[in-house]
Structure 1
């Protein structure tokens, strides 16, 4: 029954990826614009959001390629390799940036009178650059360990069954790109909530806003990546020892790869539509656009008055 369920989901690939692309691309473009405007005003969190939006956009632009492939069209090994490398780098970079945001909020709430230099725009920019470099280097090392840029074989030319060397790389990815970030974000969330509950200077409404934002951040990350990481963990443990697990886990693996796209859809919603500063920036931009069109319409009416 479970295998049949995943097989049906696998057949819905083109429609699912298309929906994710339609929502994710404009959402992350909006997120990037709003974060950029807030960053120019000195908001250090916006620096991380700019980089997170870029990371999500890079992943989003690979979706049309996966749609074409899901329809049964061969896209070529070179292009598939490139898209898969972008996808996996997005996993690593996105996880690192979410950790940075969690740690930044942890220091701001738990130690408000200390670490001012960490919460500056310049520091956030340097940390973001370091995250990109570190995550890309780690990914290159993993690919080199596999022998070449063969990360795409899981999606393009899947190795069946997974070799022991691939299993080692998969376990490393699960640990570095999921378990460590989840531990960091959970720790920060717990400490922040405990500090907010003990604080008498922060109003109840502010507590709810901060708690809701952090809860959604952690929930979106876990919901998006937990199914994929669990299947990868099962593959790494079971496939090298028992070939019969290969076909059982193939459809769940391909389906859970698609669920990771949820994160690129949810990030702009969480950070742009729930964050008060972002909502204010969106409203301001909307008013500017409305005034521009009203002014243009007024000019057109004055040039062509009704007779």
Structure 2
């Protein structure tokens, strides 16, 4: 296809302002367009280099690059070195200036402010101080000056521990809606998956004790993996609708000042959430609890009727059943009762009928949330208490001594070794 002759004179871009190195990408982009439109691109490197230097307006910067004569005479090599030169200056001077001047703007969400700081710090070259610089800018740049002063008093504050400030700073949430939903989802996922797996364990114990011949060799690793996947899927399906409810609300006195991260949802949707919570409690807790209670209850009856089991073993097993049911009840029943009562209280308050028991239920709900988290810690301790630990330690020491004796004999030959009375 024949080239179309140009009917106008192409002018080069204005001289480059060396006091504004951050403008280099824009200027060189304009020069590249001029280079193509004017036909300079197809000319020799010598003409391209001379035109570039003449248009820039200063030859001293070329000298400061310390290029060889061959490098300085090749257009693309010279351009790449100029690019590296101005980018370095921009990172150190301009980018750090923009980062250090950044403040949270009016109406800007916390997650937007944090994301902006991360983007600005990307080209500042802070190295090992990268996280600390972002942390300091967050502390100084938040709009809530009182919160900023309180955070400045915490000498151990890090980006990793930053979410903990929500509780230490009077429930002031500054991390945005998305992060709030993720935290609540993870909490619920952990809570109800624990309930699901404890229920599966109770059913397995029931089958192993009440119907040992029917399940012997039939429950394989594949079955266990499949059951685990089903539990995770069911719990995720129960927890996922919670993500669609709004989780944050601004302070009524100053919308740009603070936010709250709700465990459930905002007042506007609390009635719908109460219905969802009751259904969630029924499928995620009540049904598994009844299954667990039925399994351990039946196991207890079977153990009491069987006379062929050692009395000590029977007592230990019954004690374990009782403690597990008690622990499950104490940790999970109060949480679900007070959670739904707290939601019902908020519904009444929304309709201007504040109940007298509102504060008591709220405090009890906060305590029950702590009990829920303790279940994962207390369950292993139960097994340690019920099992005969001293006997197991003696058995372990005996096995270690036998292994050491075999190793000694194999290395040094048949050396008489005194036999202990219990070997």
- Please report the TM-score for the alignment, with normalisation by the length of structure 2: 0.46
RMSD over aligned Cα, in angstroms? 3.5
Name the structure where helix makes up a greater proportion of residues.
1
1:231 and 2:343 aligned: no
Distance 1:282 1:264 in 2: 28
Query: Given that residues 143 and 149 in structure 1 are in contact (C-alpha distance below 8 angstroms), is that contact kept between their aligned partners in structure 2?
Result: no
Q: Give the match for residue 127 of structure 1.
A: 227
> Relative to 1, partners in 2 of residues 1:186 and 1:281: Cα closer, same or farther, differing over 3 Å?
farther
1:193-208 correspondence runs (5 A): 193-208=300-315
1:233-252 correspondence runs (5 A): 233-243=340-350, 244-245=354-355, 249-252=361-364
* Unpaired runs of at least 5, structure 1: 1-63, 292-307
* Unpaired runs of at least 5, structure 2: 1-160, 249-259, 404-423
Q: Which moved more, 1:199-208 or 1:110-119?
A: 110-119
Q: Give the match for residue 320 of structure 2.
A: 213
Distance 1:118 1:89 in 2: 30
Per-residue Cα deviation, 1:254-298 (whole angstroms, up to 9, x for no partner): 232222122122022124553469x9499859x98xx9xxxxxxx
1:176 and 2:283 aligned: yes
Q: Give the match for residue 187 of structure 1.
A: 294
Q: Which has the larger radius of gyration?
A: 2
Q: 1:177: how far off?
A: 2.4
- Please report the TM-score for the alignment, with normalisation by the length of structure 1: 0.61
1:97 and 2:97 aligned: no
- Describe the SS at the equivalent of 1:239: helix
Q: Give the match for residue 266 of structure 1.
A: 378
Q: 1:179: how far off?
A: 1.2
Per-residue Cα deviation, 1:126-164 (whole angstroms, up to 9, x for no partner): 211221122112221x326x44688x9533x85247621
Structure number with greater CO (CA < 8 Å, separation at least 6) is 1
Distance 2:191 2:325 in 1: 15
Q: Give the match for residue 21 of structure 1.
A: none
Q: Give the match for residue 138 of structure 1.
A: 238
Q: Give the match for residue 166 of structure 2.
A: 69
Distance 1:283 1:135 in 2: 41
